[in-house]
Amino acid sequence: MEAATIYIVLAALFGLFMAWGIGANDVANAMATSVGSRALTIKQAILVAAVFEFLGAVLAGGEVTSTIRKGIVDAELLGDTPELLVYGMLAALLAAGSWLLIASHKGWPVSTTHSIVGAIVGFAAVGIGVDAVHWEKVGTIVMSWVVSPLTAGFIAFLIYLSVQWLILRREDPLERAKRYVPVYIFLAGFTITLVTILKGLKHVGLEISLGDAYLLATVVAIVIAMIGAVAIKRIKPDPKLEKKDHFYTVERVFGVLMVVTACSMAFAHGSNDVANAIGPLAAVISVASTGAVAAKASLPIWVLMLGGAGIVIGLATFGIRVISTVGKKITQLTPSRGFAAELAAATTIVIASGTGIPISTTHTLVGAVLGVGLARGIEAIDLRVVVRIFVSWVITIPAGAFLAIVFFFTFKTILP
């Protein structure tokens, strides 16, 4: 078997392993609020994620992929030795995938973006030279890791305050929920339809002007909101359970909304985070097929599909541990709180995905859950769990870098 084929086969296997890790750790984040608030069962969450993560990865996953593939390492320095880039990207995929396996086993919600960027920086700094790393690009990515949880937390805080003010603190919360929840459904539908049109349809070969995109997103969001409104009207109050929990029926109304936001969150996540698995894979395929580093390669559709499939398998086989941490241990979630966190996180991810900044879904969602908790006061948050999560975030970059360096020198020694 010639070297190029070996490289592509290994890259596909390691890319699938990395995508599995994304499913086990990151997608679990995306679904944690729905499962933690009991809006969805674990089986329903896996089904929703399977469909929408896959669609997000395949339709809208190309934009961020180019940042991961080309933006972090100065590939031109490898013009004479393209095989070093291949060894490095293989090492990065295996290193990040291995760290995600460890973290998921422990139930730590770590960042897959952190993992892969740390791994790429590790191999590049040691294998090629410190100058090969675009440190200003890494700086932008690091800055986004601080900005994304703060942004998502702030948006979630505001959304949940609006829910409290418009619905929960009124004398007729159920009637007001039936009136206002379709508006929230419209916002969720509009946000996610817009990113699909602006980013996803480029890969399918459809170009739509900005004005038409807004118009189409509005129409789709109205249709989704009308369907939601019909589903909400059918919800009847249960006087027995209302005595135990004054907001029981109101939260069931928000449960309908959680299904919409879970779908949008899964789509937004698939479009942003599939890049962590297939960016390095695309780089290996490009070098192996052309023999040159700088050659521009189009992203084959099977690569996006491989990423989407790996993500779904990871969630189904190993996702329950991280779902438990984010959905149940940080703060007590109800459908109204979970919705505020999910819509805030999806909005933040959509903004980042559109600008091509590879943010961390984990940081975004944990930031959003903290924002919702803070809206009820600091005592509503389990600070010990939060500290453990922060420590695992800090360890992630050095762990990815260390493992990548070890694997890089191994591959350099044994591969043709």
Q: How confident is the model at residue 75, as a pLDDT?
A: 66
Q: How confident is the model at residue 237, as a pLDDT?
A: 81
At residue 49, φ and ψ (nearest 5 deg) are: -65, -40
333: helix, strand or coil:
coil
> Among candidates 365, 343, 351, which has minimal Cα distance to 189?
343
Tracing tokens 């390492």 back to the chain, one arrives at 73
> Among candidates 113, 107, 27, which has minimal Cα distance to 322?
107
Given a contact cutoff of 8 angstroms between Cβ atoms, the answer to whether 48 and 266 are in contact is yes
How far apart, in whole angstroms, are the C-alpha atoms of residue 260 and residue 273? 20
Return the structure tokens found at 153.
């937390």
Q: How confident is the model at residue 223, as a pLDDT?
A: 94
Tens digits of residue pLDDT in 132-171: 788 887 787 777 777 888 889 999 999 999 999 999 888 8
176-192: average pLDDT: 86
What is the average pLDDT value for the chain, to the nearest integer?
82
Residue 363 makes CB contacts below 8 A (sequence gap 6+) with 111, 145, 148, 149, 152, 393
Q: What is the dihedral of CA 332, 267, 234, 335, to 10 degrees?
A: 10
Amino acid letter, residue 195? V
At residue 298, φ and ψ (nearest 5 deg) are: -75, 150
Neighbours of 158 (CB within 10 A): 14
Given a contact cutoff of 8 angstroms between Cβ atoms, the answer to whether 329 and 388 are in contact is no
| Residue 352 predicted with pLDDT over 60 | yes
> Among candidates 265, 287, 285, which has minimal Cα distance to 277?
285
Tens digits of residue pLDDT in 32-71: 888 888 888 888 888 888 888 888 777 766 555 555 555 6
* Burial group, residue 116, by CB count within 10 angstroms (0-12, 13-18, 19+): buried
Sign of the torsion formed by the C-alpha atoms of 200, 345, 217 and 266? positive
Per the rule left: phi > 0, alpha: psi between -120 and 50, beta: everything else, 183 is alpha
Tens digits of residue pLDDT in 247-258: 888 888 888 878
How far apart, in whole angstroms, are the C-alpha atoms of residue 57 and residue 34? 21
Q: How confident is the model at residue 58, as a pLDDT?
A: 75
Tens digits of residue pLDDT in 307-331: 888 888 898 888 888 888 888 888 8
Sign of the torsion formed by the C-alpha atoms of 341, 226, 270 and 201? negative
Tens digits of residue pLDDT in 385-401: 888 888 888 888 889 99
pLDDT band at 198 (very low <50, low <70, confident <90, very high): low
333-340: average pLDDT: 88
Given a contact cutoff of 8 angstroms between Cβ atoms, the answer to whether 63 and 37 are in contact is no
| Residue 278 predicted with pLDDT over 90 | no
Degrees, nearest 5: CA angle 202-266-227: 90
Tens digits of residue pLDDT in 78-127: 667 778 888 988 999 999 999 999 999 988 888 888 888 889 889 888 88
Q: Which residue has the higher pLDDT, 172 or 245?
A: 172
| Residue 195 predicted with pLDDT over 80 | no
How far apart, in whole angstroms, are the C-alpha atoms of residue 57 and residue 272? 8
Q: How confident is the model at residue 359, as a pLDDT?
A: 72
| Residue 283 predicted with pLDDT over 90 | no
